Amino acid sequence: MKVSKLNPNAASFVPTESINTNPSPPPSDHDHHRRRSRPRPRNNNDDAVVVAVGPRKNSGKVWRPKTMLHNNIIIIGSTSTQPASSSSFTTLMIKNVPSRYTREMLIEFVDNFCKLENDDDHHHIYSAYDFLYLPMDFRRKLNKGYAFVNFTDARAALKFWEAMDHKKWDYFRSPKIRQIVHATIQGREALERRFRKSEFCCEFEEYLPISFCPPRDGSNGLQSCGTNIGRVMIGSTNNY
């Protein structure tokens, strides 16, 4: 086999890479920390939040635990609170009413409270109410879980709150706990104005708000005349 001779006119060979005789130093703790600070890709099945590893910066936000109100009543439709001891409200909203409660059952419930309070010789506050409304789901024929009652005296409303708030209901073995708060609309006259021109698309007048004259006090049910507020509109599909 013949070996070709080198070309004497060829350009000199210049290497494009050089060999570094000095080995790279081992990675420092800073480099290791920087590599770990890269966020991992999120897995679709992973609900955890991916955060970078490293010193936590102060965002200026302070975590505070949530608190529950024990001695205050929340005013519906407002962010303020009103201590129960200085309450001047007469209209209350009763929340967490069992869905199978009817208007008659709720009237009996408030009647019993008034009778017990008025029969107690130690109490000099006359307990009576002149308006009650239990909103209904007309399609399901069940109530919507809340009701409104107006007492004739703010002190009686306060006694009702003290006696009935955060208590269980008597019927249906319901696990619901009553919550009683101040209503946005206050007073029988304002409530009647609110519902007087309302049209309730239902079949039964007992689904309507009702006012009482004279006010019911738990012992004068036969003498107290109830008047439904609003009009029944049969055949419509609306649900108020």
* Average pLDDT taken over every residue of the chain: 74
In sequence order, the β-bridge partners of residue 101 are none
**What gap in Å lies between CA 239 and CA 236, rounded to an integer?**
8
pTM metric for this prediction:
0.62
**What gap in Å lies between CA 75 and CA 183, rounded to an integer?**
7
121 vs 78, more confident? 121
- SS3 for 188? helix
Contact of 200 with 209, CB cutoff 8 Å: no
pLDDT digits (tens, 9 = 90+) for 126-175: 999 999 999 998 888 899 999 999 999 999 999 999 999 999 998 888 89
Listed in sequence order, the residues at least 6 apart from 105 whose beta carbon sits closer than 8 Å to its beta carbon are 171
What is the token pair recorded at 204? 């039964």
Q: Phi and psi of 173, rounded to 5°? A: 50, 40
Q: Are strands 231-232 and 199-200 parallel, antiparallel or unpaired?
A: parallel
What is the token pair recorded at 107? 């009237």
pLDDT digits (tens, 9 = 90+) for 25-49: 555 555 555 555 455 545 444 443 3
Position 51: which residue type? V
Q: How confident is the model at residue 214 (pLDDT cuts 50, 70, 90)?
A: very high
**What gap in Å lies between CA 205 and CA 228, rounded to an integer?**
7
Q: For each of the domains in the chain, give its residue range(s) and CATH number, in order of start.
A: 91-232 (3.30.70.330)
**What gap in Å lies between CA 179 and CA 185, rounded to an integer?**
18
